[in-house]
Structure 1
Amino acid sequence: MTKKQGVLKCSLSFLAPLEAILFDIDGTICDSDPLHYYAFRDMLQEVGFNGGVPITEEFFIKTISGKHNVNLATILFPDWEPQRSQKFLEDKEAYFRRLASEQLQPMNGLHKLCKWVEEQGLRRAAVTSAPRSNVELLIPMLGLSDFFETIVIGSDCERVKPFPDPYLKALQALQVSHKHTFVFEDSVSGIKAGVAAGMPVVGLAKRNPEKLLAAAGASFVIDDFDDPKLWGVLEDLQRKPEVTTAT
């Protein structure tokens, strides 16, 4: 199959007229996963996790990426007191913010995509499992303070990703239909959440394996927002259906 054929095979035309796009933050609109990995690797080694052997990127992707800290506390530290694990995760997020303030990069093609979204007059929201303090740092750093109409923080919902609650809350806040909205996500838990909320999800495989994202339910997977596959789909969505006149 040629690249052009691959582009044409992917379609979201059934969403027309498109009303909104929902975006995850970490690993989706910014390439933050390496910074989270470095923070977890260093801090877990300090507390003797895994016998003091540094975690691998594969472990990070499989066990940590995309998961809310509430769930990670149980996964990583099943024998710790809740206060101790909570303090560790708060310290890890502070370490991440220090790294992000110096090294954070937007996802390739992000600002081109945001301009397209604005030109189309689409509604937009960010839906994240990140702590609010992280969001308050990342969004301004990416120049998106005026882009998102609403930001849904997972911990403000009854259930976090992979449950659909955060995405359902975003749909409600924007007052749009899931039948005319799609999601950008980079993690298995995020993709499952979007699909459970009744929307197609475009997966970003910048850091996480394409096979994992496809298995989680992604409609199709792109490398980043410069991917020709994505722009072929968006151009298809822009096309106005032909109007036939009765004779």
Structure 2
Amino acid sequence: MTVSPGENSGDSPSSLSRLAPLKAVLLDIDGTLCDSDPLHYYAFREMLLEIGFNGGVPITEDFFVENIAGKHNEDIASILFPEDHQRGVKFVEDKEAMFRRLAKEQLTPVNGLYKLKKWIEDRGLKRAAVTNAPRPNAELMISLLGLSDFFDCLILGSDCERAKPFPDPYLKALELLNVSKDHTFVCEDSVSGIKAGVAAGMPVVGLTTRNPEHLLMEAKPAILIKDYEDPKLWAALEELRQKGRSSNSCILKHIMAIK
């Protein structure tokens, strides 16, 4: 069955508790692991200004959010240069090189990231990074954040038939980790990313790192949080833990009854 972006084959959950027992967590990179959007915005704004894009008027953050944030580079190239796609591809490649130079000096993790990392590691959960970013960007950001040994695998939008907002990257992550969507949740910060996770049938924890809350809500995340210190996240994870403990207790009682 072909799943379209934003189409969810199941019910949209209001919490994460239905996932018990939790087996895996899938995380986007840009804006989800690190606050990288300001660096992307700066690079796009300055480089577009140099070539006289938009009549020499700098692009706004609203333009960046609507047309660039979270999208795959092929799509960005088509949006910015609809009459000359090859020029757009070359421009975006040059912009990514500028971004990497900036990231080496200025990249910072999302608040509470390492608290969530420890929570995931302590429970032995499987984990994958799932991104529309090009490989050099993804690997650099993961390395700068000290997460090179944390992820079991890295899935790129360019590795799939369709990038986000289609579900393909998240479906590939489930396949590589050999886990079910019924025991996995996603962390995302963009509209296209949330749509991809929802379309793959998983609840999505949306982060309001930079994108407007009302736009993110339209993509139907399970919950929206400010960052990984947000009490709403930890309340949901505690509910999930309690549900998992209750399920394990019921299973044990059933086994003992059989004996």
Asked if residue 53 in structure 1 is aligned to residue 57 in structure 2, the reply is yes
Alpha-carbon distance in structure 1 between the residues aligned to 2:184 and 2:119: 15
1:144 aligns with 2:144: no
d(CA) in 2 for partners of 1:195, 1:103: 31
**Alpha-carbon separation, structure 1, partners of 2:90 and 2:218:** 34
Q: Could you tell me which residue of structure 1 aligns to residue 169 of structure 2?
A: 166
Residue 227 of structure 1, aligned match among 222, 225, 230:
230
Partner residue of 1:31 out of 35, 47, 51: 35
Write the distance in 2 (CA, Å) between the matches of 1:83 and 1:61: 23
Aligned counterpart, 2:246: 241
Match of 1:29, SS?
coil
Structure 1 residues not aligned, in runs of 5+: 1-8
Deviation at 1:11, TM superposition (A): 2.3
For 1:50, the aligned partner's letter is N
Match of residue 110 from structure 2: 107
1:183 aligns with 2:186: yes
Partner amino acid for 1:157? Answer: C
Q: State the one-letter code of the partner of 1:21.
A: V
Counterpart pick for 1:20 among 2, 18, 24: 24
Q: Look up the equivalent residue of 2:177 and give its one-letter code.
A: L
How far apart, in 2, do the equivalents of 1:120 and 1:99 lie?
35
Kindly report the root-mean-square deviation, in angstroms, between the aligned alpha carbons of the 2 structures: 1.5
**Structure with the greater relative contact order (CA < 8 A, sep ≥ 6): 1 or 2?**
2
**Runs of 4+ in structure 1 displaced over 4 angstroms?**
244-247
Query: Identity across aligned pairs (percent)?
Result: 67
Q: Judge conservation of contact 1:10–1:229 (CA < 8 Å) in 2.
A: no
CA distance in 2, matches of 1:200, 1:96: 31
Give the conservation status (yes or no) of the 8 Å contact 2:30–2:37.
yes
Match of 1:63 among 49, 62, 67: 67
Paired residue type of 2:246: P
Give the aligned partner of residue 153 of structure 1. 156
Structure 1 position 236, deviation (Å) = 1.3
- Residues 202 and 221, structure 1, Cα contact 8 Å, conserved in 2: yes
Residue 129 of structure 1 aligns with which residue? 132
1:143 and 1:10 map into 2 onto residues whose CA distance is: 32
